[in-house]
Amino acid sequence: MTNEELYRQVCAGDMDAFHTLYGRLENLIRAIARDTARQFGYTDSIPAVLLEDLQAEGTLELCERLRSGSYDEEQGKLTTWLYPFLRGRMYRFLETNLGVMALNKGEMEKVRQAQRLYHTADRSAAEIATEMEISETEAARLIGYNTHFLSVSDLQRENEGGDPLERLLSYRQGVSAEQIVYRKVCLELLEPLFRSLSAKDRSILGHTFGVYGYEKLSADELGLREMLSPDGVTKARKAALKHLWQRYSGSNLHRWREVFRLVNRAVRG
């Protein structure tokens, strides 16, 4: 019996089929756990506790995906469909629970400097790279570390997970109540522009940033979902952002930001 046939039985409530399918997929979960850990620097040996945690995360994701019943055999083999979800769950676990903790003091100082320049000085990755005398790729890596710096997640709606489309707004990481209100309004006014995009553009941006009802996906997950190469995902994101910005001029969001800027300028004298 194939994995796909077992999946259909699981969806019909057959617990024996579930246990059989899980037994077949244990090695896949273990292999993904090892590969994900290696990407976080565990090239020689992986702590047993960490490997167990990753496998547990993978198992939870497997159960959730099987329970959802959202697999379509036209999407390919069951294992191919499951892979990005399992890997994404483990990657997010490592990103949340290791990330900064695995850094030495010198590296941590670099992370803080890069994120301070990005979040409070509003510098681009290229500008940070120049100032810190590192590559742009390295600057992007430092900026991307999951730290406890004030997050734009504080600005999203109560019933919405993921990170807002922070890259579309020039005011990032403001800590004042005024800035929080400003950016909440920006996100509300951005939504109609987002909804006017094509289905593909909405999927690309929605899954990239995890907003407006879309599940946040890694680049690998998004590539498999949209049948795009890594380079194709990057190009699709740029194209979608371009289409969004074409709708920005003259919009309510544009007018709101201009009024806010003028009022602030007048207040400062």
Compute the average pLDDT of residues 112-140. 81
pLDDT exceeds 90 at position 187: no
Closest CA to 90 of 35, 26, 152: 35
Residue 124 phi/psi, 5-degree rounding, is: -85, 165
pLDDT of residue 150: 34
Share of the chain above pLDDT 90, in %: 13
Closest CA to 33 of 101, 93, 97: 93
pLDDT of residue 180: 61
Compute the average pLDDT of residues 124-129. 84
Distance, C-alpha 104 to centroid of its chain: 25
pLDDT single digits (tens) 190-202: 888 888 989 888 8
Who wins on pLDDT, 145 or 257? 257
Who wins on pLDDT, 118 or 160? 118
Residue 228 CB contacts under 8 Å (≥ 6 apart), including other chains: 222, 236
Compute the average pLDDT of residues 241-249. 84
pLDDT of residue 154: 34
Q: What is the DSSP letter of 233?
A: H
Which tokens sit at 246?
């074409």
pLDDT of residue 237: 86
pLDDT of residue 205: 87
pLDDT of residue 57: 86
- 149 by Cβ neighbours in 10 Å (0-12 / 13-18 / 19+) ranks as middle
Contact 37, 94 (CB under 8 A): yes
Residue with tokens 């998004």: 222
Compute the average pLDDT of residues 244-266. 78
Residue 25 phi/psi, 5-degree rounding, is: -95, -5
Compute the average pLDDT of residues 238-265. 80
Q: Which of 16-25, 69-78, 172-181, 200-209 has the lowest mean pLDDT?
A: 172-181
pTM across the whole model: 0.43
Who wins on pLDDT, 156 or 66? 66
pLDDT exceeds 70 at position 168: no
pLDDT single digits (tens) 203-232: 888 888 877 778 888 877 888 788 887 778
Compute the average pLDDT of residues 45-73. 86
pLDDT exceeds 90 at position 132: yes
Domain 177-267 has CATH 1.10.10.10: yes
Which tokens sit at 8?
């259909």
pLDDT of residue 117: 82
pLDDT of residue 4: 93
Spatial separation of the C-alpha atoms in residues 118 and 143, rounded to whole Å: 7
pLDDT of residue 5: 93
Contact 237, 208 (CB under 8 A): yes
The structural domains of the chain, with segments of one domain joined by +, span: 3-98, 105-144, 177-267
Residue 120 CB contacts under 8 Å (≥ 6 apart), including other chains: 173
pLDDT of residue 262: 72
pLDDT of residue 46: 83
Multiple choice CATH, 3-98, 2.30.30, 3.40.50, 1.10.3470, 1.10.1740: 1.10.1740
- 258 by Cβ neighbours in 10 Å (0-12 / 13-18 / 19+) ranks as exposed
